[in-house]
Structure formats: C-alpha cells, structure tokens
Amino acid sequence: LIDDIKKVFKDKKYPILIDQEGGKVSRLNKIIDLSFFPQYSFGKLYTENKKLFYIVYKIYIDKVCDIFKKVGININTAPVLDIRRKTPNFIGNRSFSQNFKSVSKLGKLCVDLYQKNRIATVVKHIPGHGMTKHDSHYKTPIITTNKRELFKKDFKPFKLCKSHFAMTAHVVYSVLDPDNTATHSKIIIDKIVRNHINFKGLLISDDISMKSLKYGL
C-alpha cells in the first residue's frame, strides 16, 4: 500500500504517518508487540537506573525506526509531552513522568533519536493535555488550572523540545479561552503555541472525528 501511494505521487519521500507511541497506542503489534512499552515505563527506568535507561531506550527507538524504514513510514506521532498527574486522567502511562523536567528531557532525547534515524516526530498534545480527567475521544475536557501552573509545568516540555511537527489538544483551557478547544482557538495557537512556546513548525490537528469537538465533520 505504501509503495503504491509513493508511486502515485512519484515521490519516494512522500509523507507516511503512523501513531506509534508504545503501550496502549501501538499499531505495529502484528509485527512486534510494543504494548509492553508505554512511555511511563521508560520514565520509571530513567528514575531507577539512568545508565541502563540510555542503553535500552536507544535500542527501542532504533528498532522501531528500523521497522518504519522497512515498511516505508517516515513520520511518527510521538513523543507524548503531556505531564502525568496523580488524579485520574486520560493520559496516564502515555506520559513519561509526573515531573515536567523529566518529560522535557526524555521528550528531547526521543525527538533526537528519531531525527538521527531520519524519522520525523509529532510532539503532542500541544500545549499540554496532562490535567485532563476526560477522554477527548468521547467528551470535551475542560482544564481549569491557573495560568501560573500551566506556564510553569504543562507548557514547558513543548517549549524545550524542538520538533518539525506538533499535534494540537482537543482541550478547553478555561483561563485562556473558555469557548474553544486549543485546536480551534486563535488565542491559544497565536499567544501560547506560536509566541510563548515559540513553536514555528507545522501544526496538525488531533483526530477531527473525536467527540471532544462540538461540530460534525
């Protein structure tokens, strides 16, 4: 299928994107089961044994990229730069850590390792999905957290990790724009994503069929 797509467009480098985070968001399980490797498992290993982490994580990313290259995929929607919270939330073990400094550091390493393998990354969910308690596939999450907390923690990993692509969050940040999700918010995209976070790359939307968005396709 991928070969056919590239032939149609007469472009061997035509963008082919996959959503392969590891853990519960794993699309390659018929080739290799990566559901055992949520980002949080690497964050935990980083805390417990940094030396082992750097060895294991590089092997993991290199092997995932090896599969991508064999199949013909050149963009992955990873890493997740949302910060895990203790309260029940949607992100859970898709996040590296509850510590924004660890999320920033491991996120940057992830982007760098993919780039060395010539695979582009899509950091998500900008500007930060970590405080959400609801699954945006089914309901609009509303974050009521104050600006100070958001700027100090949630927005920080996106500011520190340089990626060519970023995926927007279908989340309402009530202190910034009470009416629109980040995906549809000119305020958040202009003031937060483009100016504060200083993201100058290509912004893509999360899945537009998710129930978080109030309009039909």
| Residue 59, C-beta contacts closer than 8 angstroms, at least 6 positions apart | none
Please state, in angstroms and rounded to a whole number, the distance separating the CA atoms of residues 32 and 14.
25
CB 51 within 8 A of CB 107: no
Nearest to 50 by CA among 93, 105, 123, 115: 105
Tokens of 96: 């590296």
Candidate list 82, 154, 177, 206, residue with the active-site label: 206
Candidate list 3, 62, 66, 137, residue with the active-site label: 137
Catalytic site includes residue 206: yes
Catalytic site includes residue 177: no
Instruction: For the beta carbon of residue 154, count every other beta carbon within 10 angstroms.
Output: 24
What are the residue numbers of the active site? Answer: 137, 206
